[in-house]
Amino acid sequence: MLPKILIAAPQHESKNYCWEEWSERIKSLTYSNYDVFIADNSPSKLNLKKIKKAGFKADHVVQNKKGLLYTIRDSHNVCREYALKNNYDYMLHIETDVIPPFDVIERLLAHNRTVIGGIYDIFYGKKRKLMIQVPEEYDKSVNSYRKVAWAEHLEPDFFDGKVKQVYHAGLGCMLIKNEVLENVKFRVLKGTDFFPDTWFANDCYSYNIPIFVDTSIQCKHRNFTWLINLDEIKKLVNEK
């Protein structure tokens, strides 16, 4: 029997500019045994209508009073808990502004890894680069953040279409096995401005869970800037 896959992601109405493109691509994937679940953290439940109209399962995540990063953390964990509760073999986390290839599930599953993703760009303009950080040896303390090198110094040889182990590849297109979800919760840490994907990579490293990427799976990232949320992020960093 084919593995049972849950495609899941947080969503906010601010990403509705690419919702139609994303939802149509997700509904058109060539794998035959997957469901879709969206954790919508828009200010009200009105956005749920758009999500459910697309035929996806969804739940509303109340905005956390502590701010943006906590809301995103809560949304990731709602996805995680749904996957565990409903006994999915894997959760494929695909951010709702990331457009994957039609056959992304088959290609990721074929490698039989506990955590493996595709690649995509982040940032804007001259700063735009691939979301890949390479592994190095550091203190494995769970709550210590490690400054890890971006893979840009390895380009173009690194991106040769093969599977590579990395330190961090984001959560934009990441297939995560059930056993990893059981042991690793999504989190943020007060006093930092790092998003849950950073701590997920940090925790996988601490628990000796390797993260891989298939460098042949290139996704389109329809991202806009997070600058509108800087005040909330700075408030979090300054908390004592």
- Give 162-216 pLDDT, tens digit per residue: 999 999 999 999 999 999 999 999 999 988 888 999 999 999 999 999 999 999 9
**pLDDT band at residue 224 under the 50/70/90 scheme:** confident
**CATH code where residue 45 lies:** 3.90.550.10
Query: Is the pLDDT confidence value at 33 over 90?
Result: yes
Mean pLDDT of 90-95: 98
- Reduced to 3 states (helix: H, G, I; strand: E, B; else coil), residue 67 is coil
Query: Is the pLDDT confidence value at 146 over 90?
Result: no
What is the total count of domains within the chain?
Answer: 1
- Look up residue 58 and give its two tokens: 């969804």
As a whole-number percent, the residues of the chain with pLDDT over 90 amount to 72
Report the C-alpha gap between 71 and 64 in whole angstroms: 5
As a whole-number percent, the residues of the chain with pLDDT over 70 amount to 84
Query: Is the pLDDT confidence value at 150 over 80?
Result: no
Tell me what pLDDT residue 223 has: 84
Query: Is the pLDDT confidence value at 83 over 90?
Result: yes
**pLDDT band at residue 86 under the 50/70/90 scheme:** very high
In this predicted model, which residue has the larger pLDDT, 125 or 97? 97
Report the C-alpha gap between 26 and 43 in whole angstroms: 24
Q: Which residues span the domain enclosing 83? A: 5-237
The phi and psi torsions of 213 (rounded to 5 degrees) equal -130, 145
67: alpha, beta or left, given left = phi > 0 and alpha = psi -120 to 50? Answer: left
Tell me what pLDDT residue 240 has: 40
Tell me what pLDDT residue 237 has: 47
The region of weakest confidence among 31-45, 140-154, 174-188 is 140-154
